[in-house]
Amino acid sequence: MKLPVNVYICEVAPRDGFQAETNWIPTDKKVDIIRALATTGVSQIEVTSFVHPKAIPQLKDAEEVVARVRDLTGVTFRALVPNVKGAQRAIAVGIKKLKLMLSATDSHSLSNANCKVEDAMRGFDPIVNVANQNGVHVSGSISVAFGCPFEGVVPVDQIVRIVSSYREMGIGEISLADTTGMANSKQVYEYLDVLRSEFPDVLFSMHLHNTRGMALANAFAALQKGVTHFDASIAGLGGCPYAPGATGNVATEDLVHSFEEMGVQTGVHLDTLLAVARQVKDVLGHDGGSFLLRAGTCSQLYSLPTHQEKLNDEGVVRDGLSDFTWRA
């Protein structure tokens, strides 16, 4: 089995995770969490989205959040922008990497962006132009790249067409998003086989949601096809407000743990990451589905019990059992 030696993790909770929260997260708390995430070793943080406040009220403080973390070094800040106005706002506050989001199907595009796929793609030209004029990098993404909640399985030919359009715009970094967790490992492997053959110069990354518990398996399939860039969200937060049934992203701590257990280096300090995940859960009052927050890492072992608990015929405990305790 051939797996990459190193992978790179982009933390997306400050955008994808927070946008799904109904209760307002104070700006101070967002800033604290981003600063904590920057200490974990993740190479990139998707820090916010410059959308209209009425569309995503939770991210109405985008400028203030970015301004208050701009002093951090050693991590790249990326922001999602839906239009040229959003790009201008992001660039004005110092963002050096923009991400475009395009749906793979007209149905999802109408729900998410109120226009069809081709119309949305045409709207990217002015964004790319203003980014080029300011020396700002632009990456692309494809939502519902494997399955659409309105149309079902998305043919790989449709993804090839969209990637071709991105390439014509000069965009060479593209994220494949399983927005509602409809992908399976065989499909991911086969789609990447086609895409990496057709576009050997494109840097493909994976953005996986764990709606049906397939995210880690799909990440492993992508690893086997040589993908080394992954999005993930601390504590498994996230979800698209415009996709029925959408749930959280693969938890960053789960993804890092899975990779590191296989000997794939992430550069992320897992203990620090878990501490941040607990902090985020405390702030929000919940997580989005994190295995490690429930079970801990594989290296956390229990002490052996002194003896086994026994019940008599009446179901009464006959012998006591010592408490289980963690040992490193």
Residue 49: strand pairing partners = 80
Residue in 73, 66, 68, 74 with CA at minimum distance from that of residue 94:
66
Alpha helices in 10-58 (DSSP H): 27-37
- Cβ proximity of 203 and 169 under 8 Å: no
Q: Which amino acid is at 169?
A: M
Helix (H) or strand (E) holding 9: strand 8-11
Which pair of structure tokens corresponds to residue 39?
């200490």
Q: How far apart are CA 295 and CA 293, in angstroms?
A: 6
Q: Which amino acid is at 12?
A: V
Which pair of structure tokens corresponds to residue 245?
């049934």
Catalytic residue among 10, 115, 148, 240: 240
- Cβ proximity of 31 and 63 under 8 Å: no
Cα dihedral 50, 55, 59, 62 in deg (nearest 10): 30
Residue 240 is among the residues annotated as catalytic for this protein: yes
Query: Residue 203: which region, alpha, beta or left (left: phi > 0; alpha: psi -120 to 50)?
Result: beta
What is the widest separation between alpha-carbon atoms in the chain? 80
Which pair of structure tokens corresponds to residue 35?
């600063």
Alpha helices in 71-144 (DSSP H): 84-92, 106-113, 117-122, 125-133
What residues are labeled active site?
240
